Amino acid sequence: MVAEDPSPPTCVPKIEVNADVDRLAIRPPNPFHPGDDFSTWECLTRCFLRGVSPRNASSYLISLLDDAALRQLMTTGVRLDAPPDNLFTELKRLFDRQQPPALALEVFWGRRQQASESADTYV
């Protein structure tokens, strides 16, 4: 027979759960890589960050950059704990390279189908 332990039960310390981790109904956007479409990524990221507390938003934004994009952002000298709007401004300056519509259309029409390329992948 096992004797009962007369010592008081162990007390588990109160653990606080980060509310941001629990509440995410929106899937976070994919990490941003230099060369990706910045304006689409920015839109998805801003929508995602609306549900994150303001004190954690910069950390989430930084975590959504791949290593190469983060290195480029760090070379600008912007503080990584700056408000997200400041980080987005700097990221936009670095990565938002849009062609004028006429030039984009010219590039599209100037492209030729390769011999190894099917018609579906060409379009």
Measure CA of the first residue to CA of the last residue in the chain; give whole Å.
Answer: 79
pTM over 0.85: no
Domain edges within the chain: 32-107
Kindly compute the dihedral angle of the four CA atoms of residues 50, 89, 38, 21, in this order, to the nearest 10 degrees. Answer: -30
pLDDT at 111: 81
Instruction: Give the span between the Cα atoms of 42 and 102, in whole angstroms.
Output: 24
Instruction: Give the span between the Cα atoms of 104 and 100, in whole angstroms.
Output: 6
49 within 8 A of 84, measured Cβ to Cβ: yes
**pLDDT tens, 21-71?**
555 567 889 999 998 999 999 999 999 999 888 899 999 999 999 999 999
